[in-house]
A and B are shown apart, each in its own frame.
Chain A
Amino acid sequence: MAQLTCQNLTLKYDGKNILENLNFSVHAGDYLCIVGENGSGKSTLMKTLLGLHKESEGTMETGDGLLASEIGYLPQQTIVQRDFPASVREIVLSGCQARCGLRPFYTREEKKLARENMERMGILEFERRCYRELSGGQMQRVLLARALCATRKALLLDEPVSGLDPKVTAEMYQLIAKLNREDGITILMVSHDISAAVTYASHILHIGENVFFGTKQEYLDSSIYRKFYEIEG
């Protein structure tokens, strides 16, 4: 059974249809890259999957033990965060809000979970440092650790390497691939970096004028990819 199934999904924004009849499904352990040009509806699709955008029509179901609120989310950085006085530990812990409900304080297990995830992301040494003083790659690791506190099953990453230099970008992709391979976490990644997508992903969803959904191999053989490849050289 699939963790996430979208059937006849029509994405709407401000009352206009951006994308019609989108069909795809994601199984546990998949690494799905959602690619497409700017303005093709990637971010609307992502917000719909997260339940932040309610305008769209069609069905989106979660299954295989995954709840809609259990999709961990790695957002793009916002302006607010650039001058926010918060320590790394405080931010990672806030990922545990998912399991808090109305309980006002964090339990010992949640604090332990936050610690484990900071260790996993290699940021435990920055635990008490201020978020705004970290480098771009370190910031992404902090937000990834926070997302991991919210989920053990699926992560949705929004352009996780934007603004990072090539070396840090490669490290970030390795880290995500490791989470997928070793911990069996389903990855959904929104990206416009098609070459990285075909390197790391197991499935590709290409949206835009032509929609494609299938495995990486099918995508490499498709006309959409060849068209792209010709332009890029």
Chain B
Amino acid sequence: MGELLAKIGWYLQYPFVRYALVVGVLIALCSSLLGVTLVLKRFSFIGDGLSHTAFGAIAIASVLNLQNDMIFVLPATILCAVLLLRTGKNTKIQGDAAVAMISVGALAIGYLLMHAFSTSSNLSGDVCSTLFGSTSILTLTRTEVWLCIILSILVVGFFVLFYHKIFAVTFDEDFAKAIGVNTGAYNLLIAVIIAIIIVLAMNLAGSLLVSALVIFPALSAMQVLKSFCSVTVCSAILSVCCALAGMLLSILAGTPVGATVVAVDIAAFIVFHLAGRILAR
């Protein structure tokens, strides 16, 4: 045990490891907050679709050779979130079909662009890293770390301020609208926050795994707890713990960061699910 701690301490000397842990914890916190809303509004797939769109945006950014790709990826993803939300109401194309269309489309175009124009010598490595986030959390620059911190504060701030509104809109949109809550605006706000979270969280888990960070903690907490407030708090704590454990494990064992974090999330879900079954008896 002491040996392990010493090893962790040795790793912590490196600034990039410290950056990774700080950003990882923040990402885990943010991504878990809206999980309940996403799962219950049947928005889980929007999270997934957005992450694929973000992959396409990253591909375009890398083709354009942008220094800081967040500047392009964030607005592009937010735009897609708004579009997806709109098509959800369109009766001609079903919401989930629209999500599938946009997400796989973005994935294909993204890969095509990367393949056709990439200047990098290690193309498959780049693609793999964007899809599974294998190294990006360990190669963050100072600017990216600050951007992550600022965006996380914004997300948490918005969530706290609009917590009761988000609850009302998630639980019963028609009722909320009937009593004069501007549900359209809050749905838009939720979509924008989701887009920001997805872009942030892609650093940790890559675009294929990112929705796991969003839905697993919420689903785990929902197995056991019974009020919106307790589920939200529990999923935030759980998400942070799983992310920390996953990151430390991956550093010690040399496994890919994103996949390890998601594996820990899955383990936590199984534990919570069993606990829920036992408690229900």
Interfacial residues, chain A to chain B (CB-CB below 8 A): 50-52, 69-73, 75, 78, 80-81, 83-87, 89-91, 93-95, 97-98, 100, 104-106, 128-130, 133, 146-147, 150-151
Contact = CB atoms under 8 A, between A and B. Distances in A.
Interface in B208-263: 221-222, 225-231
Contacts of B1: none
B228 A90 contact: yes
Interface of B: 36, 40-42, 160-165, 167-168, 170-172, 174-181, 221-222, 225-231
A78 B169 CA distance: 13
A74 to B, nearest CB: 9
A69 B164 contact: no
A231 B272 CA distance: 55
Nearest to B228: A86
B178 A97 contact: no
Given A84-B170, A85-B230, A98-B181, 20 more contacts: A50-B178, A52-B177, A73-B179, A75-B172, A75-B174, A78-B172, A80-B41, A83-B40, A84-B171, A86-B227, A87-B227, A94-B164, A94-B167, A95-B179, A97-B165, A97-B181, A98-B179, A104-B164, A128-B227, A147-B175
A133 B228 contact: no
Of the candidates B36, B163, B177, the one having the most CB atoms from chain A within 10 angstroms of its own CB is B177
Given A85-B36, A85-B227, A90-B228, A71 B164 contact: no
B40 A150 contact: no
Contacts of A128: 227
Contacts of A75: 172, 174-175
Contact of B222 (A50, A85, A97): A85
A99 to B, nearest CB: 9
B166 to A, nearest CB: 10
Contact of A73 (B40, B163, B174, B229): B174
Contact of B168 (A51, A73, A97, A133): A97
A128 B226 CA distance: 9
A151 B179 CA distance: 9
Given A51-B178, A75-B175, A94-B171, A85 B225 contact: yes
B178 A69 contact: yes
Given A85-B36, A85-B226, A90-B228, A71 B178 contact: yes
Given A80-B171, A94-B171, A150-B179, A100 B164 contact: yes
Contacts of A50: 174, 177-178
Contacts of B222: 83, 85
A133 B175 contact: no
B181 A73 contact: no
Contacts of B40: 80, 83-84
Contacts of A100: 164-165
5 contacts: A86-B167, A86-B227, A87-B226, A94-B172, A97-B176
A147 B168 CA distance: 13
A89 B231 CA distance: 15
Contacts of A94: 164, 167-168, 171-172, 176
Contact of B228 (A71, A87, A150, A151): A87
A130 B225 CA distance: 9
Contacts of B230: 85
Of the candidates A97, A106, A151, the one having the most CB atoms from chain B within 10 angstroms of its own CB is A97
Nearest to B234: A85
A150 B164 CA distance: 15
A75 B171 CA distance: 12
Contacts of B161: 104
A138 to B, nearest CB: 15
Contacts of B225: 85
A133 B181 CA distance: 27
